[in-house]
Structure 1
Amino acid sequence: MPAHEGNRTYDAVVVGGGHNGLVAAAYLARAGRSVLVLERLEHTGGAAVSTRPFAGVDARLSRYSYLVSLLPKKIVRDLGLDFRVRTRNVSSYTPVERDGGPTGLLVGGGERRTREAFARLTGGEGEYEAWRRFYGMTAHVAQRVFPTLTEPLPTRDELRGRIDDADAWRTLFEEPIGTAIEDRFGDDLVRGVVLTDALIGTFADAHDPALAQNRCFLYHVIGGGTGAWDVPVGGMGALTDALAAAARDAGAVLATGREALRIDTDGRTAEVTYRTADGEAVATARHVLVNASPQELAALTGDEPPAAAEGAQLKVNMLLTRLPRLRDETVDPREAFAGTFHVAEGYEQLATAHAQAAAGELPAAPPSEIYCHSLTDPTILGPDLVEQGYQTLTLFGLHTPARLFDRDNDVVRAELLKSTLAQLDAHLAEPLADCLATDADGRPCIEAKTPLDLERDLRLPGGNIFHRELAWPYAQEGTGRWGVETRHANVLLCGAGAVRGGGVSGVPGHNAAMAVLEESGG
């Protein structure tokens, strides 16, 4: 039996070795606390991992999460992480058919070029000026809100005062985002590009009165105080490898293949029972930090589970021998795919897709967005693949809630993948299938993950990538000082389901560690 197993006592046990759990472990261990991390899988990293999914092919892809925006530089600096990101020169490209021919909207490459792209698409300056004003507003909000994510939760009034812009507050925090989009923009395509940030992983209509879409939009535009989404050098696994190294170097014990089974606590001392290769073991700790969903936390503590919020996405990883040519010959594919390539994401298309999915049908024109990691960071490919011009494509589909896959996950996945790629092919001068690489067994290098696949593989309830509905980044009744507290005084939630969770940020892990250190005197 390994030396760390048996009835050992620690200052803290972290359940779950995803990126947030590793952040928490690294902070606590660096503060001199004894820490045990229990991870069910045989590797750490959770959803933020890089793998070689295609047999015999030297391509290490970010299998689940894939871009970085919400990770504070403070965490990278505090933990001394060997981790870098690269910016994308092009923000997005959205192809469309107008006046009987292919065209599109390229955002990026400098203000002049973006302005000209808007003018070509819309025939005037109005949409670009509206775009500039709108994202000037979100940039202001980002600058004011993002620094608060690693501070104790502000009250609603405190956050509103910090933003100090009544129009911005009403637009993002009080009215459905669809109202702002329709008031500010007239072009259907431009409206759709703006709306997509409100729908990534969130199944909601633009005018949903519950404002789930607004919360999603907020977290997508505040990252780093700029809203930029950057490419992790070496893939997402580079981050979690660096975090694991930081935690281990600080003295934390990382135990993989160890599934937590039960947490028993009296509020002062907790016992975590977990599965080992030889049976079960118990670790005793002053604090337990749970890097898992609120549903998993409830199962461990024997509490009533909260309602689950289903996921609504399709994640597709691909390896190509070359990028496909576009029907819109005015745009270089290397630019179009370097940013976010929007497919079937006009405003009305998004509304139709949502309505069809809400009625229990697969969207006839599934919306999705695509980007090519290897254009910005070729290090994820082996040298031979780089020399031959191979490229990766990552596709994230919208408006496909978990309920649609209940009848037969494998069959529906295949149907959805086929129709999603057909929407992409409509904008290509050659079929994507002609560009797909093949693995060592001659199979196309493409894999798709539905919400049910994520529920099975990563225990995300309903395949929800945020663990549950995103919360506003301010204190509400029962949220506690840091947004990580539970009804058990010494059990904290340090995963994406915490307040200010969701995305690859490390924020819940940081905040749970701060709560422990604050309570125990630093």
Structure 2
Amino acid sequence: MPAPEPSASASPSSARRPHAPARDRYDAVIVGGGHNGLVAAAYLARAGQSVLVLERLDTTGGAAISTRPFAGVDARLSRYSYLVSLLPRKIVRDLGLDFAVRKRTVSSYTPALRDGRPTGLLVGGDRTRESFAALTGGEREYAAWQRFYAMTQRVAERVFPTLTEPLPDREALRARIDDADAWRALFEEPIGVAVERNFTDDLVRGVVLTDALIGTFADAHDASLLQNRCFLYHVIGGGTGDWDVPVGGMGALTDALARAARTAGAEIRVRHEATRIETDGGHAEVTVRTPDGEQTVAARRVLVNASPQALAALLGETPPQPAEGAQLKVNMLLTRLPRLRDRSVDPRQAFAGTFHIAEGYGQLADAYREAAAGRLPTAPPSEIYCHSLTDPSILGPDLAARGYQTLTLFGLHTPARLFAADNDAARATLLKATLAELDAHLEEPITDCLALDENGEPCIEAKTPLDLERDLRLPGGHIFHRDLSFPYADEGVGRWGVETAHANVLLCGAGAVRGGGVSGVPGHNAAMAALEAS
């Protein structure tokens, strides 16, 4: 995990050999025991290298963990990250991970009000075409949907395999995609152009656009194409774009990774916080704060599974401009799924996929404008899914037998700046408004369905970007550590997209090129770069 800034006595890293005597020596020291650090550790240890993982918390996993957040309640939730798309099967196979995912029976459901009656768009199964026709009154939008996502799947099939290869340059990736229209739509024009060119229905446009906004604060027509980069990572996963449910919760993945790393011979020390790295490019020493005091560990190279800001702090260098997260994360445990106003859809179908709330195209634009002007959105957009419908193993047997369900809500367009003055008050206001938008499509308030913990408190917790910064040291609460990049090499980027200014220090966290999400890709790529340099 990211480390704090070094003390004032820490000197900047420079081209000199550190002097401090080392108590331990390793081929590789990995700073941070999140999923990417564990992937790197497992690969390097399997290659016969001596590896030490340093984790400041009392458990590994970082943001990809499962916990029981509600007192006395046997429900193990994926507390922060919650779905899997970008984890290559290659990594699962290479490391022999005892880990599985399940497909969701429904891709998404978006409730709406048309001509004064509740309706919605259900995508998935054998009802998609019928649902489009009922919502839009014809075949046009469904045909456009089929064409558009056939295009993104062709791109996914070509791009996804490159994530665990040396970085292609821009022209090489363009040639690999070999589709001028797709390249223009995804890599050159703001994604809003493609959305508006292909679709006419406001609700359909909004459903498409949401993949460009998850964890990213941008408008559909942002000239920076930040939204395009986010969209690309959301539609290329696995070569299909599917977002799958981790069986046993996200902690099942990181537990499997920790076992794989230890089995291969890596040493993992929890409650060991790296506070400084000194390097001359060929030899490095890491200062570590331990439960017993401070020690120094020597290594041929250091892989940092933390943000670019934390890396700079460890090296005593000037940090890059901080990122800004823009999401609300809410976990809930229900005694039952709520009844819907749209009686044509069973709640078990509606919540099995992604349940979109206030995510029409116009609503998303309005929410962005309000947030950009410094105000919490009046109608906050968000999306929900129910893990326990696909994988009830995260619930204790008694809860499962009684029909309890989990809900995970992810809110959009809520940048960290909106919480700076009073995080608690802003969180409460935003949560109330977000649940009100959900309630508008329910026959009963969602709060009536909440389970109670052993203290009689409702089983609901909300995390703002500032909460995530505090809990996980995500800079600005940014879930990708910094703005995502296109998966090709820009000028000055190294062969694997993990290199730094120091030959023996690599960035293996989400802030690496092709980072972000639960993928293991930066961990894999840093390990490959380290092995090539050995």
Q: TM-score normalised to the size of structure 2?
A: 0.96
Structure 1 Cα separation of the partners of residues 400 and 114 of structure 2: 36
Which structure 2 residues correspond to residues 117-516 of structure 1 after superposition, within 5 A?
A: 117-516=131-530
Which stretch of structure 1 is more off in the superposition, 301-310 or 133-142?
Answer: 301-310
For residues 241-294 of structure 1, give each alpha carbon's deviation from its aligned partner in whole angstroms, at most 9, with x where no partner exists. 000000011110100001100000000000000101121111100110000000
Structure 2 Cα separation of the partners of residues 478 and 115 of structure 1: 47
SS in 1 for 2:348: helix
Structure 1 Cα separation of the partners of residues 492 and 310 of structure 2: 19
Instruction: State the AA in 2 paired with 1:194.
Output: V
Work out which of the residue numbers 120, 124, 140 in structure 2 matches 1:108.
Answer: 124
For residues 131-184 of structure 1, give each alpha carbon's deviation from its aligned partner in whole angstroms, at most 9, with x where no partner exists. 000000000000000000000000100000000000000000000000000111
SS in 1 for 2:255: helix
Instruction: State the AA in 2 paired with 1:9.
Output: R
Counterpart for residue 27 of structure 1: 43
Between the two proteins, the alignment pairs up a number of residues equal to: 514
State whether residues 326 and 412 of structure 2, in contact with CA within 8 Å, keep that contact through their aligned partners in structure 1: yes
SS in 2 for 1:305: coil
SS in 2 for 1:90: coil
Which structure 2 residues correspond to residues 85-96 of structure 1 after superposition, within 5 A?
A: 85-96=101-112
SS in 2 for 1:361: coil
SS in 2 for 1:197: helix
Instruction: State the AA in 2 paired with 1:47.
Output: A
SS in 1 for 2:286: strand
SS in 1 for 2:212: coil
Alpha-carbon distance, 1:6 to partner: 6.6
Structure 1 Cα separation of the partners of residues 455 and 461 of structure 2: 15
Alpha-carbon distance, 1:369 to partner: 0.2
Instruction: State the AA in 2 paired with 1:270.
Output: A
Structure 2 Cα separation of the partners of residues 20 and 278 of structure 1: 27
Structure 2 Cα separation of the partners of residues 155 and 432 of structure 1: 49
Structure 2 Cα separation of the partners of residues 40 and 267 of structure 1: 25
State whether residues 380 and 434 of structure 2, in contact with CA within 8 Å, keep that contact through their aligned partners in structure 1: yes
Instruction: State the AA in 1 paired with 2:354.
Output: T
Counterpart for residue 71 of structure 2: 55
Instruction: State the AA in 1 paired with 2:227.
Output: Q
Which blocks of at least 5 consecutive residues in structure 2 are unaligned?
A: 1-20
Structure 1 Cα separation of the partners of residues 318 and 427 of structure 2: 32
Work out which of the residue numbers 14, 22, 30 in structure 2 matches 1:14.
Answer: 30
Which blocks of at least 5 consecutive residues in structure 1 are unaligned?
A: none
For residues 422-469 of structure 1, give each alpha carbon's deviation from its aligned partner in whole angstroms, at most 9, with x where no partner exists. 000000001101100000000000000000001001000000000000
- Report whether the alignment pairs 1:40 with 2:49: no
Instruction: State the AA in 2 paired with 1:66.
Output: Y
SS in 2 for 1:481: coil
Alpha-carbon distance, 1:89 to partner: 1.2
Q: Percent identity?
A: 80
Structure 2 Cα separation of the partners of residues 459 and 22 of structure 1: 18
Structure 2 Cα separation of the partners of residues 222 and 9 of structure 1: 40
SS in 2 for 1:360: coil
Alpha-carbon distance, 1:477 to partner: 1.2
Counterpart for residue 6 of structure 2: none
Instruction: State the AA in 2 paired with 1:17.
Output: G
Query: After the TM superposition, which parts of structure 1 deviate over 4 Å for at least 4 consecutive aligned residues?
Result: none
Alpha-carbon distance, 1:308 to partner: 1.5
| Structure 1 vs Structure 2 CA RMSD | 0.7
Structure 2 Cα separation of the partners of residues 308 and 191 of structure 1: 31
SS in 1 for 2:356: strand
- Report whether the alignment pairs 1:519 with 2:509: no
Structure 2 Cα separation of the partners of residues 142 and 518 of structure 1: 27
For residues 199-230 of structure 1, give each alpha carbon's deviation from its aligned partner in whole angstroms, at most 9, with x where no partner exists. 00000000000000000000000000000000
Structure 2 Cα separation of the partners of residues 80 and 278 of structure 1: 35
SS in 1 for 2:113: strand
Work out which of the residue numbers 80, 90, 110 in structure 2 matches 1:74.
Answer: 90
Instruction: State the AA in 2 paired with 1:306.
Output: P
